[in-house]
Structures are given as C-alpha cells and as structure tokens.
Structure 1
Amino acid sequence: MINLTTRGLFLLMVLGSSMLILGLNSTSDAQMVPALFVFGDSLVDVGNNNHLPISIAKANFPHNGIDFPTHKPTGRFSNGKNAADFLAEKLGLPSSPPYLSQVHNKSSNFLTGVSFASGGAGIFDGTDQLYRQSITMNKQIEYFATVQGQMVQQLGQAGADKILSKAVIAIVIGSNDILGYFGSSPSGQLKKGTPQEFVDSMIVAIKSQLKSIYDLGGRKFAMIGIGAVGCCPSQRDKNKTETCNEAANFWASKYNQGLQSVLQEYTAQLKDFQYTYFDTYNVLLNLIQQPAAYGFKEAKAACCGLGNLKAKVACLPFSSYCPNRSDHVFWDLYHPTEATARIIVDTAFNGPRQYAFPLNLQQLASL
C-alpha cells in the first residue's frame, strides 16, 4: 500500500532549475535549521518513486498534482503539496529534493538536506511486495550514510557533524506495515505471529533504525506517529457498514505508544538526542469525526477514484475527482488532501503539548 498515516527543510541550496520544475521557491520565513532530511513513505514522497523502474507505487500521472503550483504531477500522492512541503515551509526552507533525482547529478549539494521517502516503504523490508519496489527504511538509511560520507569529504568531520546535529530528521513510517498486516489483500500481508508480536517487532526495528541515524550524526528527530489508518477510504470500503477498521487503528495506536517509549528511553541514554513526537492518530481522527469544525464536508470518501467511496479504483487518469479538493479529508483511497496535510503540519509545528510533545517542532528547531 502507500500510506495514510499516516506527512524538506534546509539551507538555500542551489536547486535552480529543479526548483522551478517543481514550482517551489524559497520561502520568506526565517530559516530555522541548516537542513532537513526526510525518511518515510508515500505521505512524504516528493518523487523518489518516479526513479524506480518497476515500482507501481507512483503518482507521476494525473490527477495527482492538479493543485500543485505547476498543476502537474510530480510524484507526490496528493492533489497538491504534501506534508514534507509544508514542513519545509514552516522551517523557512525550500522543499527537499528526492534523493534519486540528485544522486547522479555531479553538482548535487546535500548540505541542505534531501528526501529519501518512498511510496510503499515500511519499517520492514518486505512491506512493499504488493507494489513491487520501494526504497525501504533500511535502504533509506544506507543512502543517508552515503550522503553523510559525502558531507564529511566536503566539510570534514567537524563541519558535517555541526550541520547534522542542527538538522531536522523527519520520519514518517509504519502505516504500510500496519495495513500490510491487517489488510485483506493476501499479497499485501506480512503476518508474522500475533498482532502484539508483530507490533513489538516493529518497535524493535524502528529502535535500531533510529540508533543508526543517530550514529551517523542525527540529533533532532521529528517523529510522526501512525495515523488512524483504519479510517482511510480503502479500509472503510472493505466493511459493509463503511466503518473504520478498528483492529488496524488499535494496533497503530499500540505501535505509537511503543515508539514514544523508545524516544523517552533514547533521551535518557543518548547524548544530545532530542525529539518531538506528533500524535497524528488523534489529530487525524479529529478531522474525520468533526470535519465541519475544520472546514471539511467529506471525511469518508476519497476525492479521486472510482466506485464506492471512490475507493474501488485508485486515483488514475480515468478516475473522476471532486471539484473542491479542500473540502475532502482524503485525496485518494489512502492519502490525505493538501488541505489535510497543511492542518497536520500546522499542528505539529506550533500545536499544544496535547498533540506535539515534549516539544513541538518549532521548539525543537529552535534548540
């Protein structure tokens, strides 16, 4: 699957023509951090999967991008900008480029950050089997190690460490693992043990992955919890009453609790380890349960797709789409609209401790 949970920050890098292609320019806000490195899945993929030859988890076709500045698809699973774009804006930076678009470019400058996020990716390597190919979380960390090595060559160890210690490391991962386990598609399942054992193994894996990023120099972690994935249109469509998949929601919440425990443990164990945890689960649930309070009219059905809840067929060029994307919580059968992503990032950035703790993102960036 490609994710619900559930959202580039960095120094003004000479993105030049590539930024013009994306239609994203430097923001006017004050730059808060030197760089943003984004790890994750389709919620924050800004085009990496466009460069994966056999992957079918791509969004490089209409109607994706209909509300993007260029009004063209860019590889984002959205009608417009996604959470990674809004996160960059909040930090006063241009959106981070996809790593695979830069890796063979000799003029690439990774000092301001890059995005490794990939549609279909999960905490486990096998999560993407339904979509044939993605950059797994472990592979994303390998790419980060390559980037860190290039930074050391360019700046020396002390110079690289200085940038990495101040950069924001944004991580949006885990929804595909949960949906792979609890979804009804046999080819998408990764059923290993009981639900509790599966979620426990997710926590063990993400703990190791966080330590790997820390060992490479990351210090400021923006951890985005898994959203209420059982309420996305694809899951509602599988229930005759169109209600949420409560098992998926329950275990997503259990994973989030375990992740918070890992973050608290690392704060005590690892020098200078700092984080913000964002409660995507309850923020998204608020939008779904009280859509009118946030300016939405439709919280069940997707905006783009075909069939019941527009969730029988994905957002493909022959699919229909709603005329007003801003009144829908969901863009397609898995992903939020640009309007939803904006609310999520606004809350993560300067929201109350109820949703972003022990610091919000703005406070973390200011450290």
Structure 2
Amino acid sequence: MVDAQMARRVNVPALYMFGDSTADAGNNNQLSENGVLKVNFAPYGIDYPDEIATGRFCNGKIEIDYIAMMIGFKGSPPPYLSTINNPLKQAKGVNFASGGSGILDTTGQNTSISLNAQLMDFKRTKEILIKAKGKVRAKRFLAKSIILFSIATNDLFAFVQKFGFQNTTQNGIFVSSLATQFKSQIKRIYQLGGRKFVVFGVGRLGCLPASRVVNANYSCSKDLNDLSKLFNIVLKMELHHLSSRCRRMSVSYIDSYGINEVIASSPLKYGFTELKAACCGSGVLNAQGFCLPNSTFCENRNQYISWDLIHSTQALNEVSANLSFYGSPTFAYPINIQELVSM
C-alpha cells in the first residue's frame, strides 16, 4: 500500500484546492472582516490530530485530507493565507478554499474569499512557482498536479433564500448560468497550466439537518434535492463539453449526490446509524443552532453523517473519499481519482 502511494506521489507533485467550507482548511481563520464564519474553537477539530481546531468545518479531517493521503502526501496542502509570508510552504500545493464562498461573487460577499478571488490567488502562486523553477519546469509541475474544486452549495442556498423555489424554467435558467460560469472559471485554471481536475458535484442539500428540521417528520426537502440534482446534471454536461475541447485536459467528476444516496440507502454497511440529526448544535436534530463552544455534541461521532447542521463528519468524509478515489463510474465519471493520478 505504501509503495503504491509513493508511486502516485511521484506522479503528482502538488495539490491545489478551490472551494467553500467543504474544503476550507483554515483560510477563514486569517480573515478579519466582520461576519466571517470561523470554526477556530472546540469542539471543531475534536477528532483531528492533537484535537486542534484548524478552521476545518468538521470534527476532524475533511475529504481532501483523505484524498491527499491516498495519493501519498502526509496531508492536504496548507491554506493559502498562511503561506503568503513563506512561499516555501507552497511547495506541495495550496488550499484556496473559503467557508461561505461561491461561484458567484455575490455569494458570501465581504465575508469569504470568492472563487474568482481564489483564482487570482492561484495566479500569484503560479508566478512564485515560475520564479522558483523557471517557465518550463513550472509548466510541467502544474500539468502533473491535481486541481480540485468543491463549491456551489452556497450559491444554491442563496438562490433559494432569495427567490424560493421558482418554477422549472426559472430554476433551469439559474442553474445553467451558474454551471456556465463555473466552467469558465475551471477553464481559467486550465489556461494557467492545470491539466488534471477533480470536480465535486453538490450533495443531497435537501437532506442536511438544516433542511430536514423545517419539514414534517424531518424528511428531506424534495425541492432542494431536485435543484441539487439539476445543477449536477448541467455541471456534468459542461465538464464533458470543456474537457472534449481542451487538449490534454482530464476531469474526474465526483457524484457527491449519488455517494450520499448510496450511503443513506445502506447506512449500516458504512457504519452509520444516524442520518437525520447533527452531532453538534442545539434544538431539534441539533439543527436549530450552530455548533458553538458551549454546544453539546454526540459521543458516537463515527455513527453520524452530519457533524453540524450543514457539514459532514470525519467518518462520512472518509467513506466519501474512498468512493471518490477508488469508485466506479457511478461515483466518479468518466474516471476515478486513482485513475486520474496515474495518467
């Protein structure tokens, strides 16, 4: 296993992560603006090594942490804002993700680092790389690196909060526009030298504790799940269109929704017994308040799929990472991450 990991590591010199709170490894901790959502306190990080609250929106590791280790790294790359004064920290990649951010600049405006701003930060990182390695070696370095995107959840939530559930036509217009912009943002990284991409679709947003708590019997929100599925369908088509027209571009689309669905259909198979409630929070389902320093939290965290009212537990992140890395085209299309790494 170690030898296989080392072989993959040699083939992938660095990881670059873009996204929202599903991928933030501590960038929001560095922001000083009012309203920035931070999780730099216990019980966040209670299951992370040394019980450190790193800024990950989780009780422990997030999915990118497991994927990085599966490739052969000791861990996922550091948050970008922690590397500005020490570019050497960027040697094996950078995490640009920011909790609350979105594809659209208006999503999480002034309280997070938007995806467009993250792309600008990547451009600066590339300039540092060129200074260190020269243009030719930097080009090869980026072409072998893995670029990961995990974003769009906040854009969909913001749309629903502002407009409610529109009719099918209006939903389609919004989702199409959102996916088209996302495609153009991914293409910008391709133009800057990225060639190997992992793009996560959105999960079952209607089944998060925050969505369930307002429904009868705490059932999933069909409207929100339908919107999630619609976005994923359009995104998958846009990615196919993009990769077919960009020379040497390879994309692994991760069906997070499908992964959530399979786990929910056979939870005991994956070690889960609680699908509705959050582990940490307050009120019904622990979903009527955020997880705070004085919040109660469950002891059997490995049996919960939700850590707080929106975010996954470390246990779910590990299962999802395995299905993303090694899974069939049902979960990772047209290739899984392991296959992408070996290319």
> TM (normalized to structure 1)?
0.87
Residue 144, structure 1, aligned to residue 125, structure 2: no
SS in 1 for 2:49: coil
Which structure 2 residues correspond to residues 163-174 of structure 1 after superposition, within 5 A?
A: 163-174=141-152
**Aligned twin of 1:111:** 91
**Aligned twin of 2:76:** 95
User: Which residue of 125, 128, 131 corresponds with 2:108?
Assistant: 128
**Aligned twin of 1:7:** none
Q: Letter of the 1:160 partner, please give it.
A: A
Q: Does the aligned pair in 2 maintain the 1:126–1:190 contact within 8 Å? A: no
Q: Does the aligned pair in 1 maintain the 2:101–2:113 contact within 8 Å? A: yes
Residue 330, structure 1, aligned to residue 306, structure 2: yes
Q: Identify the structure with the greater helix proportion.
A: 2
Residue 291, structure 1, aligned to residue 272, structure 2: no
**Aligned twin of 2:227:** 251
Q: Does the aligned pair in 1 maintain the 2:36–2:112 contact within 8 Å? A: no
Which structure 2 residues correspond to residues 178-257 of structure 1 after superposition, within 5 A?
A: 178-183=156-161, 194-257=170-233
Please give the per-residue CA displacement for 1:170-207, whole angstroms capped at 9, x wherever unaligned. 10011111112224xx5x9899x922111111111101
**Aligned twin of 1:46:** 25
User: Which residue of 260, 264, 268 corresponds with 2:244?
Assistant: 268
Structure 1 residue 111 displacement after superposition = 3.2
User: Which residue of 67, 70, 84 corresponds with 2:50?
Assistant: 70
SS in 2 for 1:126: coil
CA distance in 2, matches of 1:72, 1:156: 37
Structure 1 residue 266 displacement after superposition = 1.7
SS in 2 for 1:241: helix
Structure 1 residue 287 displacement after superposition = 2.1
**Aligned twin of 1:36:** 15
CA distance in 2, matches of 1:101, 1:110: 10
**Aligned twin of 1:346:** 322
User: Which residue of 56, 80, 94 corresponds with 2:60?
Assistant: 80
Number of positions where the alignment pairs a residue of Structure 1 with one of Structure 2: 336
> TM (normalized to structure 2)?
0.93
Structure 1 residue 110 displacement after superposition = 2.1
CA distance in 2, matches of 1:217, 1:341: 29
**Aligned twin of 2:37:** 57
| Overall identity of the aligned pairs, in % | 38
Structure 1 residue 27 displacement after superposition = 11
CA distance in 2, matches of 1:234, 1:331: 12
SS in 2 for 1:65: coil
SS in 1 for 2:5: coil
SS in 1 for 2:91: helix
Structure 1 residue 109 displacement after superposition = 3.9
Q: Does the aligned pair in 2 maintain the 1:304–1:319 contact within 8 Å? A: yes
Q: Letter of the 1:174 partner, please give it.
A: A
Extract unaligned runs of 5+ from structure 1.
1-25
Q: Does the aligned pair in 1 maintain the 2:165–2:223 contact within 8 Å? A: no
CA distance in 2, matches of 1:246, 1:58: 30
Q: Letter of the 2:80 partner, please give it.
A: Y
**Aligned twin of 1:321:** 297
Q: Does the aligned pair in 2 maintain the 1:287–1:329 contact within 8 Å? A: no
Q: Does the aligned pair in 1 maintain the 2:198–2:337 contact within 8 Å? A: yes
Provide runs of 4+ in structure 1 moved above 3 Å. 26-29, 188-191
CA distance in 1, matches of 2:257, 2:182: 18
Q: Does the aligned pair in 2 maintain the 1:180–1:190 contact within 8 Å? A: no
SS in 1 for 2:55: coil
CA distance in 1, matches of 2:270, 2:146: 28
CA distance in 1, matches of 2:28, 2:263: 29
CA distance in 1, matches of 2:65, 2:325: 13
Root-mean-square deviation (Å): 2.1
Q: Does the aligned pair in 2 maintain the 1:225–1:256 contact within 8 Å? A: yes
Structure 1 residue 70 displacement after superposition = 1.1
Structure 1 residue 365 displacement after superposition = 0.4
Q: Does the aligned pair in 2 maintain the 1:180–1:189 contact within 8 Å? A: no
Q: Does the aligned pair in 2 maintain the 1:302–1:309 contact within 8 Å? A: yes
CA distance in 1, matches of 2:39, 2:210: 17
Structure 1 residue 301 displacement after superposition = 0.3
Please give the per-residue CA displacement for 1:247-281, whole angstroms capped at 9, x wherever unaligned. 11111111111111112112221110101111110
Structure 1 residue 28 displacement after superposition = 9.4
Q: Letter of the 2:76 partner, please give it.
A: S
